[in-house]
Amino acid sequence: MGQVVLITGGTSGIGLSLAESFLAEGASVVVCGRSQTALDRFSRAHPEALAVQADVTVPEARAAMLAAIDDRFGRLDVLINNAGTFVVRDFAGDDEATVALDQEIDLNLTAPIHLTGEVLRRWPPLAAIVFVTSGFALVSPTRAPTYGAVKAGLHGFADGLRRQLAPQGTHVLEVLPPTTDTPMNAGSTGPKLPPAEVAAVTLKALRQRRPMALPGQTRLMPTMLRIAPRALGRMVAKL
C-alpha cells in the first residue's frame, strides 16, 4: 500500500483531479464531501477509494471521518485541505453583504485549521499537509473581499505551521491556483485553468518538497507583488 491520502472536497474540481492523480500513483485515497450523490458517483468510478460523507465544519463529522480512516487503513500520511466556497459580497451596495458570513469563514478557514490539528494529534508525524488556497490569498478579489481574507488567513496559517513542523519532517505545501474550471467557478468569465493542471503542479511540488505551488498565471504573482503591486491590483480588480 502506498501513502494514505485524505482530500476534503474530493468529489469534484481540483479535489477530484487530485484524487485521481494520487490513485494513478498507487496511493490509497480517501475523499469526503457533503453530497451523497457526488460521493456515490465517485465510488462507482473509483471503487478502490474510500468516500466518506462529512461536513468538515461539524466536529462530530470530522471525528467520524478520521475514525473511518483509522478503521480502513490504520494511518494517514497526507492531508489535503481542499474544500471551500467562493461567495461574492458587495459591501458598497448590498445591505445583506454579510449574510452567511460565518459559514463561509468556517468552511474556508476555521474547519481546515481544526482538521489539521485533529489529524496531527491522531497521526504524528504526517508526511505532508497541503492547503489549497488561491492566488487571491495574495491579492484579494474586488467582488469577493471576504474570500480573499479567509484565503489570506489560511496562507498565514500554512506559513507558520511550516516552521513549526519542520523539525519533525512534515512537509507543508500551499497551493495557490488561479481561477480554475470547477463547479465553484461555473459563472466566472475569462480564462480558467484545467483542474488536472493544478493537480499535476501540486504533485510535482510535493515530490520536490516546495513550500508553495503556483499553477498557471499565479506563478507570476510573487514577482509582480514586489515590482508592480499597483498593476497587479488593477488586474485583480477586473476579476
Provide the annotated active-site residues. Answer: 147
Residue with cell 495574495: 138
Instruction: For residue 6, list its beta bridge partners.
Output: 30, 79
Cα 62 to Cα 42, 59, 118, distances in angstroms: 20, 5, 9
Distance from C-alpha of 215 to C-alpha of 228, rounded to nearest angstrom: 20
101 and 143 Cβ atoms separated by less than 8 Å: no
Cα 128 to Cα 112, 139, 194, distances in angstroms: 14, 26, 24
Query: Which of 89, 84, 64, 97 lies closest to 15 in space, CA to CA?
Result: 84
Distance from C-alpha of 190 to C-alpha of 204, rounded to nearest angstrom: 26
Helix (H, G, I), strand (E, B) or coil at 5: strand
Q: What strands, in cross-sheet order, belong to the sheet with 128-132?
A: 50-53, 28-33, 4-8, 78-81, 128-132, 171-175, 212-213
Query: Which of 106, 107, 78 lies closest to 18 in space, CA to CA?
Result: 78
